[in-house]
Amino acid sequence: MGLKASNLKRCSLSLTIEEQSVDDVVVLKISGRIILGRDCQQVEWKVEDLAREKKTKIVLDLSGCDHVDSSGVGIIIMCYGKAKKSGGELRLAGVTGNVERILKAVNLERIFQFYPTAAAAAEGFSVSRFGLE
């Protein structure tokens, strides 16, 4: 199961979102900082767009993300709610370092399982369809 880049969207110098499709799973690779400002709203808007397009299996790959502030945490939670409301699921991958420390400090591991890679998160969708996960 390989990742194929289908779209690259640059939000600004501080945040980049790269959309990749893996079968029926969409991976949003986030690079930079998810912090207060219009940039972090781009993540939320992208998830809204995917929900409207009936793309309900979404992975946020945070392996390229080096910082998340309280606004970024709020955006991640909003994205989770929007995906769930549309009948989908949002998963987090590549959560390490400072980002992992912050997300664990606010107990996001109670909402999300953190996957080591986007590929592992994407594969999990296939397994969970059969109740094996």
CATH topology of domain 4-127: Transcription Regulator spoIIAA (3.30.750)
Contact present, 82 and 44 (Cβ < 8 Å):
yes
Beta bridge partners of 4: 21
- Going by the DSSP 8-state scheme, the letter that residue 86 receives in this structure is T
- C-alpha count within 13 angstroms, C-beta hemisphere, residue 75: 23
Q: Give me the pLDDT at residue 131, please.
A: 40
Secondary structure E strands in the chain? 4-10, 15-22, 25-34, 57-68, 89-93, 114-115
- Reported pTM: 0.83
The low-confidence residues of the chain, meaning pLDDT below 50, are 1-13, 129-133
Q: Give me the pLDDT at residue 9, please.
A: 40
Q: Give me the pLDDT at residue 2, please.
A: 47
